[in-house]
Amino acid sequence: MSEKAIAVYSVTLVILIAFFLFLAIIVLMYWIGIQTEQTSKVACGLKLTGYCADWLKSGYDNSARPDWWSMNDPKDCDKIGIMEPSADDCKGKKST
């Protein structure tokens, strides 16, 4: 085998390795995006539960409604459909 043939195989091998690394990076970034979305759903659910638990201490009295919803992280829960709850939401009743 000549040295030119070995060089061509080496270049082809390097190109294939680079392609598969690029593909792996794309797949990893997509997977991280999915995990981040699921994590924020869980975090917002925990925020909702904590808010309702704090409000339950006062018997869902509107004058004693917790005021920390917009101040605590995660702040973008409304983007995934979790808004500041009403008393009916916290009690488990569907609000219309």
Nearest in space to 90 (alpha carbons), one of 44, 62, 61, 55? 55
| Contact predicate 82/44, CB 8 Å | yes
Nearest in space to 85 (alpha carbons), one of 71, 69, 64, 73? 69
- Residue 64 is predicted with a pLDDT of 86
pLDDT digits (tens, 9 = 90+) for 55-86: 999 888 888 889 899 888 888 888 888 999 99
Identity (one letter) of the amino acid at 27? V
Total-model pTM: 0.61
Considering the chain, what is the average pLDDT of its residues? 85
**Stretch among 23-27, 44-48, 89-93 having the lowest mean pLDDT:** 89-93
Torsion sign over Cα 55, 60, 62, 63 = negative
Residue 4 reports pLDDT greater than 70: no
